Amino acid sequence: MKIAVLGTGSVGTTIGDKLIALGHEVMMGSRDATNPKAAAWVEAAGAGASQGTFAAAAAFAEVLFNCTAGLHSVAAIEAAGAGNLAGKLLLDLSNPLDFSAGFPPRLNPVSSDSLGEQLQRAVPALKVVKTLNTMAAPIMVDPSLVPGDHVVFVSGDDAEAKAQATMILTEGFGWKHVVDLGDITTARGTEGWLLLWTRLYGALGTPFFNLELRMGKQG
């Protein structure tokens, strides 16, 4: 499958590497067609890897991953172009984290909006599925790094797009427990989790953890 990975950071390269390993053709998209970080990734990733602008990557792809830094994600999607995105699935992995003042990052989630919804509103014909934004990048593509029945969430308005995203998560990345939270407004929940995730990172001294849901009985 032809897949665009938008973003050249550690999430983008981790996702790109995994998709190449799975046999997909991957174009890494960035603001500049000759972005040196994307070029380095293409050289390391080998056959099947290419780079281009956000718009070129979106035009190339059947499916897209948004791995841009959250503060720049809306601009990236707008640069990709509504015409290149219409009808396509975008897995949105971003979080609106502001690292300008160090760690823990600034993050001000609200119960009335989310970055996932902002991307959906920016291009209504795009099928946004918020997912994989709740754990460290290595765990995203190799959930076996963490023991137990830990979970990944999906949020989105389009049932078929969520099913396609879930198939990528399970058959591609090896996830066993995908929790469908509901429509794209539920992205407010997983983006809000980052407030706790960043504090757990600090307390545990490692980002290599994830959450498992334990169901109880009424008291």
Binding mask 115-154 for its own copies (x = CB under 8 A): -----------------------xx--x--xxxx-x----
Determine which residue in the list 39, 104, 163, 178 makes contact with its own copies, applying CB under 8 A: 104
Q: Is 172 in the site for its own copies (CB under 8 A)?
A: no
Sign of CA dihedral 58, 89, 107, 150: negative
Which of the stretches 31-39, 48-56, 159-167, 198-206 binds its own copies when contact is defined by CB under 8 A?
198-206
* 162 and 129 Cβ atoms separated by less than 8 Å: yes
Considering the complex, state which of residue 64 and residue 128 has its C-beta at the smaller distance from its own copies. 128
Confirm if 77 and 23 have CB atoms less than 8 A apart: no
CB 75 within 8 A of CB 118: no
Q: How far is the CB of 21 from its own copies (least distance, A)?
A: 13
* Alpha carbon distances (Å) from 49 to 4, 24, 45, 93, 159: 10, 9, 6, 20, 30
Number of residues that bind its own copies (CB under 8 A): 51
| Dihedral sign for Cα atoms in the order 79, 68, 61, 178 | negative
Kindly tell me which of 20 and 59 has the beta carbon lying closer to its own copies: 20
Q: Does residue 212 bind its own copies (CB under 8 A)?
A: yes
Residue whose CB is less far from its own copies, 65 or 153: 153
Does the CA dihedral 138-139-144-148 come out positive or negative?
positive
DSSP letter for each residue of 177-199: -EEEEESGGGHHHHHHHHHHHHH
Q: For its own copies, which is the closer residue by CB, 47 or 108?
A: 108
Q: Which residues of the shown chain bind its own copies in the complex (CB under 8 A)?
A: 104-112, 138-139, 142, 145-148, 150, 179-182, 186, 188-200, 202-204, 206, 208-219
